[in-house]
Structure 1
Amino acid sequence: MATTRSIATEIDIAASLEQVWQVLTDWRRYPEWNPFIVGLHGRHEAGARLVATLHPPGGRHTTFRPRLTAFDVQTRLAWRGKLLVPGLLDGAHHFQLEPLDGGGTRLHHGEDFSGILLPLCGDGMLERARQGILQMNQALKRRCEALASQASA
């Protein structure tokens, strides 16, 4: 029986869908603002292999090579990574953008972990990932809202 653990977050951003998507997919600028995903490189197309460097709060930098599973412009961005081989410890990371009445955007952001090693990971790894996702959400909100404010000035 496969074990699965999920992290699900959402945050409302006072910026247009287009502005949020632009910041979210401008991977080369992640080191400027993103405290969790400090490096992300690869092509913007489903099936592409990415190089992602994460720095979870209280953890070490980790670099892995997930596969981009969704790149639906202004809607969904997702990738799936693994530890060594599929089924040991897998992570499916996702971002979903939802337009809000009044022009804002709701970001749904999370990760689904699975694999035979998951029960051995303990709650610490999942809590660090959750905290990293929450920190990234806040940083994305700040960046998008600052850019939206500049654009309307």
Structure 2
Amino acid sequence: MAFVYEQTLDIAAPAAVVWEVITDLPRYGEWNPFVSSCASTLRPGDPIDMTVHLMKRPQQQREWISEYHEGRGFAYRMKPVPGGALSSARWHDITPVDDGHCRYRSHFELRGWLMPVVRGLLGARLRGGFAGMNGGVKERAESLWAQRNPR
């Protein structure tokens, strides 16, 4: 059993613009209410260091890039807690719809025997954080696209 949060958004911007938003890690603080700073090479095996706003005070978090597909998505995982106590995985996926639209899928899952405790303590905050981040991706991409393509 896993705690899963997944959201799919239709975005009125090309896939390339959404890719730009989610991979421009130094700019996360400009639009992302959940992860205010982020740094990584995005190469599989390398770390991704984030400042996450889950508790009253921001927390530093290090996870590890597990997948990278240029223009389509990337994924990262926490280092599993020994004994199968806890592990997490996070995906960002982008699917082009047409020249000016795409679909963005955000997926997070938490597994392990400690998962029910973490879900009970932080489940609502995790859902709210990811929803805020996903909304930020959409708003940022659509704003950039509108600035570049005024009608």
| Common fold: TM-score over 0.5 | yes
Whichever residue aligns with residue 144 of structure 1, its letter is A
Identical positions, percent: 29
Whichever residue aligns with residue 133 of structure 1, its letter is F
What is the CA deviation profile of residues 42-82 of structure 1, one whole-angstrom value per residue up to 9, with x for unaligned ones?
Answer: 112111111122113x6542222111011111112110014
- DSSP-derived class of the 1:44 partner: coil
Whichever residue aligns with residue 134 of structure 2, its letter is N
What is the CA deviation profile of residues 7-28 of structure 1, one whole-angstrom value per residue up to 9, with x for unaligned ones?
Answer: 1111111111101100110000
- DSSP-derived class of the 1:35 partner: coil
Question: Where do 5+ consecutive residues of structure 2 fail to align?
Answer: none
- Whether 1:22 aligns to 2:20 is yes
- Whether 1:131 aligns to 2:94 is no
**Structure 1 residue 87: deviation in Å?**
2.6
Matches within 5 A, 1:1-153: 3-56=1-54, 59-82=56-79, 85=82, 87-101=84-98, 103-153=100-150
Decide whether aligned partners of structure 1 residues 98 and 24 sit closer, same or farther in structure 2, where only a CA change above 3 A counts.
Answer: same
Q: Is the 8 A contact 2:12 2:100 kept in 1?
A: yes
- Relative to its length, the structure with more strand (as a share) is 2
Question: Where do 5+ consecutive residues of structure 1 fail to align?
Answer: none
Q: Is the 8 A contact 2:19 2:73 kept in 1?
A: no
Q: How many residues align?
A: 150
Whichever residue aligns with residue 41 of structure 1, its letter is A
CA RMSD, aligned part only?
1.8
**Structure 1 residue 102: deviation in Å?**
5.2
Decide whether aligned partners of structure 1 residues 142 and 86 sit closer, same or farther in structure 2, where only a CA change above 3 A counts.
Answer: farther
Whichever residue aligns with residue 29 of structure 2, its letter is P
Decide whether aligned partners of structure 1 residues 125 and 62 sit closer, same or farther in structure 2, where only a CA change above 3 A counts.
Answer: same
Q: TM-score, normalised by structure 2?
A: 0.90
Decide whether aligned partners of structure 1 residues 140 and 116 sit closer, same or farther in structure 2, where only a CA change above 3 A counts.
Answer: same
**Structure 1 residue 4: deviation in Å?**
1.5
Decide whether aligned partners of structure 1 residues 146 and 140 sit closer, same or farther in structure 2, where only a CA change above 3 A counts.
Answer: same
Distance in 1 (CA, whole Å) between partners of 2:30 and 2:129 is 16
Q: Is the 8 A contact 1:59 1:128 kept in 2?
A: no
Distance in 1 (CA, whole Å) between partners of 2:93 and 2:33 is 20
86-95 vs 126-135, greater mean Cα deviation: 86-95
